[in-house]
Structure 1
Amino acid sequence: MSQERGKRVGWVELYFDLVFVFAVGQVAHGIVTDPHWSRVGAALGLFMTLWWTWIGFAVLYNRRGDDSRTADRLFMLAGTLPCGIAATQAHHVFEGHPAVFALALAGVRLILAVAHRWPAEGELDQHRVSWGYAVSTVLFTASAFVPTPWLYVLWGVALAQEAGFLLLGGRPRGRKGDRPTRKARWRALLTPPKQANRAVDSAHLSERFGLFMILLLSELVITVGSAVLERPSDDLGYWLVLVSGLVLGGALWWIYFTSAAEMYERLLGLSGGNPALAYSLYAVGHLPPAFALLLVAAGVNLALHEPAPSAAAWFVTAGLTIYLLGTRVFAAGERRWYLSLLRFALLAATVCLAFVNLLLPASGVVAVVAVWAIGTAAVAGRIRHRALDRLGDTPAEFLRHLPTGPDLD
């Protein structure tokens, strides 16, 4: 089946993630201070910059990390220093002063470049990755000294080339110019890599991303807890916010850990640690739901303001919708038109829950969304249970259940 027992997430990784989550928490705070969709777009760009920074360390430790090696622990601890500086400077990026933030991220990439330069005996040669991070170091350093519009162009180039070399996955191809079928793409993604040392550890990657998602969920819990401390205990809104906020957080946890996480780990295990599949499921696939958690937390925070801005309800419902799309909770592996229509209707209904703010205060909207999320979690659990049954224990069994298409033989 999958890799029987992979390595566990290291203690130093958990410490690194605590520092890093402080940085992404500042992104959510930036949305709260200016609740407009333009600020959400800027926050998404900033989050993507931080996301690929975190991915670099997640892949590094998955490839070669070992808590028993002093050098590996030191590289992770060294990374917390520039990440901590970046966290304190995140709000300055929104204010139009990103130079220190850019230099901090350049420092992070210098550490990653050095860490990939000298792999231990028997480990995958990562010189290409090392040179890639060296280029990113130069680009982020240069961005600190150029005008604002060009600064973001340099960031984009740096992130694009990082996304190109991390995990080094190839795309399946058919005959000349042919576009591979869905089944052919899955066949390539579920094929173990030819070089054993290129395989990723599915158990470690699943646990690392799962723990990071929990840390992002903590933003919602902290938001609820901080807000209710400032309200009188005899206020009905106090109890409504406390209960509905925690219920919403629990539903989001349930959707991911009982619906998405097991499926992702099973698929990656069946593939023998295929790096292209890991890239698709985790590096890219987790970006939307991770940002969605910050958007939901920002929306709940704004819902507790007096008066609450109209954007609060839309941030909560849009965030939940993106989260459902990103975790693919309604995807059962069946491509029937009426099921696709039903999925679209459910997602559209999730967004439109924001119109409840015409009838209820913002705290009431959060309560309604929490109830909706509970129902969604229940439906998602059943769908995922059926999908896992169809998945079976072998890639061939999974491919057998995919819709048929033209063969490439």
Structure 2
Amino acid sequence: MTAGPGRIAVVTEVDVDTGGGPAHGKRVGWVELYFDLVFVFAVGQVAHGIVADPHWMRAATALGLFATLWWTWIGFAVLYNRRGDDSRAADRLFVLAGTIPCGIAATQAHHAFDGHPAVFAAAMAGVRLILAAAHRWPARPGLDQSRISWGYLVSAALFGVSAVVPHTWALWVFALLGEAGFLLLGDRRGRRHRGESRERPSPAAQWRVLLKSPRDPNLAVDSAHLAERFGLFMILLLGELVITVGTAALERPADDVTYWASLIAGLVMAGALWWLYFSSAARIYERLLDLSGGNPSLAYSLYAVGHFFPAFALLLIAAGVNLSLHESPPQAAAWFTTVGLTMYLAGTRVFSVPGRPRWYASVARIAALAATVCLAFLSRVLPAPAVISVIAVWAVLTTVVAAGIRHRTLDGLGDDPVAFLRGIEEERRRRTRPSES
């Protein structure tokens, strides 16, 4: 179940320890920031692959490459979250060693686009061997990560085999699904026992599980560190959009009006996307994870899965803006931008409201997302820089709307999250009681 900042299925009784406020966990290590530089280069190559041949099949290939890089990055983020320490030389060396195969994979991304992914796959196998060794390395007492280590060995074998046999993508899918299963979903509190009902649990029951602290404290994630880690990665992806705008603008003469329009519109759009995430969504995610005591399943829902499409959307937007600022932009340029923006808005739950919204709120949300996609039709009557300007204005308007929707959610979670969730559930019951009678 993927949770969102605005659409919260609530519970009436939650057995959690809210603590005295937000957690103040470890800081992001300097070596992690260095590691991110390599990934900036890698994801930049993926975005460049879309620009080099702007077709939807190319974008689908980029999605697959990004998913592979995404789970690789998450592997190191979770590793350092649970056991990393900048004062330990071994922890720093594992991260630095991981930059080498990741850098090789970045240089080979264009070959993967062209149907020759052997070196890319071999590099991905190598980085998983490093992750397997890192999880086997002695850490603090009571922290047994042998299962994760064996999982990465299997994943490395699948990537290694894919480097020499056809049907590469099928093996990659199996490897990534395995990593998604063992990396963060280690606390099986919600597992069914023999004889129990097979009916799907209600949203209230699902949230009751997600908001409970893990039975094994060693499985808990540091909410402050993880929130900052993903926030920094989103900043780096936004930086790809800023660089795209600046680079395209430098190629225009200074007296060209479209030079200034493109520059301003691109920066306004990037600022709006920043505001949509960091003004409320990032804080709500961290608060919920802190409330759960670092529940790994909630971290999986909010971050590993919940951030995937918004993160890729930023690359798609950057590619679309880049293409739109060419002298002869292709038809796909505007569609990449609007589809990317729609993915970002849907992934960050911009138009969602707390509790169970009325039917017209759901219709309005769907209409707003559909309108975002359809802005690409403006490319038939307007020049590309003008289309980017309109999309930027639309992004600002959605930011204003989202600020109003999320204000009550953020304030409620900040004061007393459990009481806030109970209050929404009681309001939902009052709405449905007349119809039930």
Normalising by structure 2, report the TM-score: 0.90
* Partner of residue 385, structure 1: 407
The letter of the residue matching 2:280 is S
* Partner of residue 6, structure 1: 25
* Partner of residue 241, structure 1: 262
Shift of the alpha carbon at 1:169?
A: 4.4
* Partner of residue 311, structure 1: 332
The alpha-carbon distance between structure 1 residues 176 and 396, as it changes in their structure 2 partners (threshold 3 A), is: farther
* Partner of residue 172, structure 1: 190
* Partner of residue 251, structure 2: 230
* Partner of residue 401, structure 1: 424
SS of 2:108's equivalent? helix
* Partner of residue 396, structure 2: 374
The percent identity for this pair of structures is: 69
Q: Pick from 286, 290, 301 the counterpart of residue 269 of structure 1.
A: 290
Any conservation in 2 of the 1:183–1:399 contact (CA below 8 Å)? no
Superposed counterparts of 1:98-117, under 5 Å: 98-117=117-136
* Partner of residue 41, structure 2: 22
Write the distance in 2 (CA, Å) between the matches of 1:290 and 1:171: 29
Write the distance in 1 (CA, Å) between the matches of 2:417 and 2:310: 28
Question: Could you give the per-residue CA deviations for residues 297-334 of structure 1, whole angstroms, max 9, x where no partner exists?
Answer: 00000001121111111111110000001111112223
Write the distance in 2 (CA, Å) between the matches of 1:136 and 1:399: 42
The letter of the residue matching 1:258 is S
Any conservation in 2 of the 1:193–1:272 contact (CA below 8 Å)? yes
Q: Which has the higher contact order (CA 8 A, sep 6+)?
A: 2
Write the distance in 2 (CA, Å) between the matches of 1:361 and 1:126: 55
Write the distance in 2 (CA, Å) between the matches of 1:383 and 1:95: 44
* Partner of residue 62, structure 1: 81
* Partner of residue 327, structure 1: 348
Write the distance in 1 (CA, Å) between the matches of 2:206 and 2:86: 36
Write the distance in 1 (CA, Å) between the matches of 2:271 and 2:360: 30
Write the distance in 1 (CA, Å) between the matches of 2:405 and 2:209: 25
The alpha-carbon distance between structure 1 residues 156 and 171, as it changes in their structure 2 partners (threshold 3 A), is: farther
Any conservation in 2 of the 1:259–1:329 contact (CA below 8 Å)? no
Structure 1 residue 156 corresponds to structure 2 residue 146: no
Shift of the alpha carbon at 1:234?
A: 0.2
Bigger mean CA offset, 380-389 vs 320-329:
380-389
Any conservation in 2 of the 1:187–1:399 contact (CA below 8 Å)? no
The letter of the residue matching 1:162 is E
The letter of the residue matching 1:194 is R
The letter of the residue matching 2:69 is L
The letter of the residue matching 2:169 is Y
Question: Could you give the per-residue CA deviations for residues 204-261 of structure 1, whole angstroms, max 9, x where no partner exists?
Answer: 0000000000000111011011111111000011001110001100110000001310
* Partner of residue 301, structure 1: 322
Write the distance in 2 (CA, Å) between the matches of 1:130 and 1:243: 48
Bigger mean CA offset, 170-179 vs 372-381:
170-179
Write the distance in 1 (CA, Å) between the matches of 2:381 and 2:181: 48
Pairwise CA RMSD of aligned residues? 1.6
The letter of the residue matching 1:38 is M
The letter of the residue matching 2:176 is L
Q: Which runs of 4+ in 1 moved over 3 A?
A: 169-175, 394-397, 402-405
Any conservation in 1 of the 2:187–2:214 contact (CA below 8 Å)? no
* Partner of residue 137, structure 1: 156
Shift of the alpha carbon at 1:379?
A: 1.1
Any conservation in 1 of the 2:40–2:236 contact (CA below 8 Å)? yes
Write the distance in 1 (CA, Å) between the matches of 2:261 and 2:97: 43
The letter of the residue matching 1:307 is S
Structure 1 residue 283 corresponds to structure 2 residue 304: yes
Counting matched residue pairs gives 404
Shift of the alpha carbon at 1:7?
A: 0.6
Any conservation in 2 of the 1:186–1:399 contact (CA below 8 Å)? no
Write the distance in 2 (CA, Å) between the matches of 1:238 and 1:192: 53
Any conservation in 2 of the 1:3–1:272 contact (CA below 8 Å)? no
Write the distance in 2 (CA, Å) between the matches of 1:281 and 1:78: 28
Shift of the alpha carbon at 1:198?
A: 1.2
Q: Pick from 19, 35, 39 the counterpart of residue 54 of structure 2.
A: 35
Shift of the alpha carbon at 1:76?
A: 0.6
Write the distance in 2 (CA, Å) between the matches of 1:173 and 1:64: 26
The alpha-carbon distance between structure 1 residues 119 and 3, as it changes in their structure 2 partners (threshold 3 A), is: farther
* Partner of residue 15, structure 2: none
Any conservation in 2 of the 1:259–1:380 contact (CA below 8 Å)? no
Write the distance in 2 (CA, Å) between the matches of 1:399 and 1:59: 31
Structure 1 regions of 5+ residues with no counterpart? none
Structure 1 residue 347 corresponds to structure 2 residue 369: yes
The letter of the residue matching 1:342 is A
